[in-house]
């Protein structure tokens, strides 16, 4: 389950350097401005003290709204993703290998003890679009694969996840706005099968509505931000049904 969740989180950001469109690297796909070298994320329980939202205990939340820490090349391509335990130790790490054009061709995922968990090989078409990923266990056996569909601008519009025996494990369909930002995600085979996002004029997520397969609203999350001089957010407060739940802080290092 953890492996599938990590794949789902990372998939939209594998298309930052696909075709020649406005999102030319991973920084722009992740809505990061400026010459970013790394982003380290710390997350805390939100505590409401007489109307003031303050940081509580450190927490780790392995969810789609959580933010792992990331490192980038000088050209803005993602080369490492890290997630941490509550005590600050590494929970898992992903290292990407790039080709001469800065496109991802392989990634290796490591456990907290540094041993290999699984490997992913990325296959591109002649236009540079990612068309499928193949996953291997640490012993080299096949774990599964993902087949992607893109639009005529190279943006990801559909992902299909398969088990090693070829059976379909999951599907996601993406809708984007005119700027290429994901505003809706549908997972037909999931219990919580639809997510709708509202963004501000900078591309930051303001609201996330998650719906069950019967169309009922599972949860509504909203987000409030504090920005640095580059207009990247350095603090985010997450609200669930208007109740503050988490505070995320980002330490951004620039080249």
CATH number of the domain where residue 44 is located = 2.40.160
Write the CA distances from 66 to 39, 42, 142, 254, integer angstroms: 13, 10, 29, 22
How far is residue 78's CA from residue 96's CA, in Å, rounded to a whole number?
7
Residue 96, pLDDT score: 97
What is the total count of domains within the chain? 1
pLDDT 10s digits, 44-64: 999 998 889 999 988 765 454
10 Å CB burial of residue 226 (0-12, 13-18, 19+) is exposed
Query: Which residues, in sequence order, are CB contacts of 214 under 8 Å at separation 6+?
Result: none
How far is residue 123's CA from residue 99's CA, in Å, rounded to a whole number?
12
pLDDT 10s digits, 228-253: 999 999 999 999 989 999 999 999 99
How far is residue 119's CA from residue 60's CA, in Å, rounded to a whole number?
24
Strands (E), the chain: 36-49, 52-58, 69-72, 78-84, 90-98, 104-111, 116-124, 130-137, 142-150, 156-163, 168-176, 182-186, 192-199, 205-212, 217-227, 233-240, 243-254
Write the CA distances from 192 to 79, 185, 210, integer angstroms: 31, 11, 7
What's the mean pLDDT when you consider all of the chain? 87
pTM value is 0.84
Is residue 49 classed as helix, strand or coil in its secondary structure?
Answer: strand
Q: Where are the alpha helices (DSSP H) in the chain?
A: 2-10, 26-29
Residue 51, pLDDT score: 85
pLDDT 10s digits, 103-148: 899 999 999 999 999 999 999 998 888 999 999 999 999 999 999 9
> Domain range for residue 171?
2-254
């Amino acid at each position: 389950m953890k492996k599938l969740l990590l794949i789902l989180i990372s998939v939209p950001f594998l298309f930052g350097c696909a075709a020649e469109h406005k999102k030319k690297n991973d920084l722009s796909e992740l809505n990061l401005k400026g010459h970013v070298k790394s982003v380290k994320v710390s997350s805390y329980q939100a505590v409401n003290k007489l109307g003031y939202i303050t940081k509580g205990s450190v927490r780790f939340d392995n969810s789609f709204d959580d933010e792992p820490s990331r490192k980038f090349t000088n050209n803005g391509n993602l080369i490492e993703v890290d997630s941490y335990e509550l005590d600050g130790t590494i929970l898992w790490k992903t290292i990407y290998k790039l080709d001469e054009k800065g496109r991802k061709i392989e990634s290796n995922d490591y456990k907290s003890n540094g041993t290999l968990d699984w490997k992913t090989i990325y296959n591109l078409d002649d236009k540079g679009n990612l068309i499928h990923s193949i996953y291997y266990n640490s012993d080299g056996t096949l774990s599964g694969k993902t087949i992607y569909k893109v639009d005529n601008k190279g943006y990801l519009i559909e992902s299909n996840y398969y088990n090693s025996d070829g059976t379909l494990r999951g599907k996601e369909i993406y809708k984007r706005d005119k700027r290429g930002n994901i505003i809706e995600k549908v997972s037909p085979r999931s219990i919580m099968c639809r997510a709708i996002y509202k963004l501000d004029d900078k591309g930051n997520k303001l609201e996330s509505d998650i719906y069950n397969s019967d169309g009922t609203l599972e949860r509504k999350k909203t987000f409030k931000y504090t920005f640095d001089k580059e207009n990247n957010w350095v603090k985010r407060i997450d609200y669930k049904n208007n109740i503050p739940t988490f505070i995320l802080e980002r330490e951004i290092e620039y080249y």
